[in-house]
Copies of this chain bind each other. A is one copy, B any other.
Amino acid sequence: MKKILLVGSGNVATHLAKNIDNKNYCINQVFSRSKENAKKLIEFLGCNWTNNPKKILKSDITIISVNDDSIKNVIKFLPNIPTVHTSGCTGIDILKKFNDYGVLYPLQTFKKNVDMNIKEVPFLIETNSKKFESDLFQLASNLSKIVRVTDSKTRKKIHLAAVFACNFTNHMLVLAKKICDESNNDFSLLLPLIKKTFNQINENPIKLQTGPAFREDLGVIEEHLKIIEDKNLKKIYNFLSQNIIQTKNENI
């Protein structure tokens, strides 16, 4: 059984740890800033915790799962064992001080308290050597059915696409709810529409586009702009509508 040093105790770290602590791998220790944040996770795992670099236990692999900005800061404290980070956007080279290093990126959005079937989450991996690739592939396959080897450039593009497909779509729903709330309308009226929109995701989304901008129904667009009071919301509405029209015309 391989022992893992887990760095971080946030959303991604928590989901990885809960799913990888099994007969092949065990989380040996969690290294994170505050015990308070890590509390639930270390209770669940029944493992050691430290924020003191001198008290890091001997392990076989380190998984760094902290904000991109913090990776640089933590690596100076870490022992020279095979080490991976879980970021979609940070290159592999940030870890080059280690002999064996790589990336284990789960292409999914995680919230600590929301359950998740990690077997269905695609993992994109990258390593500095073929030898370590095989080890990391094994570790990733222990977590998920879908493992792909991709370089840093490719992973960054997929991560960017994921921001559009997940964070920005969700933000559109946030704005839709805001519009409903501000006009005392029930957001749940929109649920059948939202369900319909996303039940069709196996299709090419450009084929499913509808709405005033796609129809170039300028009267409706003007009417909408009139009733939007918030300056930034108006700017988003206007800019996205223009972009929908432009994208449509590129695809004709």
Contacts and interface: CB of A to CB of B under 8 A. Distances in A.
Interface of A: 11, 67-69, 89-90, 107-111, 114, 116, 120-122, 146, 148, 153-154, 156-180, 182-183, 185, 187, 189-198, 200-202, 204-206, 208-215, 217-220, 223-224, 227-228, 232, 235-237, 239-240, 243-244, 246-247
A224 B107 contact: no
By Cβ-Cβ distance, the 3 closest A-B pairs, closest first, are A167-B211, A198-B198, A165-B176
State the main secondary structure of chain A at its contact with B: helix
Q: Which of A120, A166, A235 has most chain B Cβ within 10 Å?
A: A166
A213 B223 CA distance: 30
Contacts of A240: 168, 171, 236
B164 A69 contact: no
A18 B211 CA distance: 21
Contacts of A68: 212, 217, 219-220, 223
